[in-house]
């Protein structure tokens, strides 16, 4: 995401653009996915969390998709099934800070 540029809020999605290999991967979107998966106990980095796609994140996304019966492609799209499931589940659990 460009400095100073914030996408317009959308009440139906947490992502501004797609996240995954060869996707837009805006820093804010990557951090949202990492935070959501951490809140659900599915992403537990040992180091500082950076706004980049990493293997641990892709594996966590694919495992989440598999466990929820979603298409296992490692991608999250604004308003898509993986993003929607994460939003619903995260609304029910306490937030766990990222390192």
* pLDDT tens for each residue of 19-40: 999 999 999 999 999 999 999 9
User: Which H helix or E strand runs over 64?
Assistant: helix 55-67
The domain spans of the chain are 27-90
- What's the burial of 60, exposed, middle or buried (CB within 10 Å: 0-12/13-18/19+)? buried
Task: Give the mean model confidence (pLDDT) for residues 4-29.
Answer: 75
Q: pLDDT at residue 60 above 60?
A: yes
49 half-sphere exposure, CB direction, 13 A CA radius: 20
Q: pLDDT at residue 8 above 60?
A: no
- Phi, psi of 6, rounded to the nearest 5 degrees: -120, 130
CATH topology of domain 27-90: Muramoyl-pentapeptide Carboxypeptidase; domain 1 (1.10.101)
Place of tokens 């390192």: 99
Structural tokens at position 12: 């139906």
């Amino acid at each position: 995401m460009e400095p100073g540029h914030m996408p317009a809020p959308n009440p139906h999605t947490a992502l501004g653009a797609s996240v995954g290999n060869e996707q837009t991967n805006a820093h804010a979107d990557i951090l949202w996915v990492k935070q959501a998966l951490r809140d659900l106990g599915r992403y537990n980095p040992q180091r500082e969390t950076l706004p980049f796609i990493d293997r641990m994140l892709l594996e966590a996304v694919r495992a989440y998709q598999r466990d929820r019966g979603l298409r296992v492609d490692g991608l999250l799209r604004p308003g898509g099934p993986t993003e929607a499931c994460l939003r619903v589940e995260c609304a029910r659990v306490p937030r766990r800070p990222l390192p």
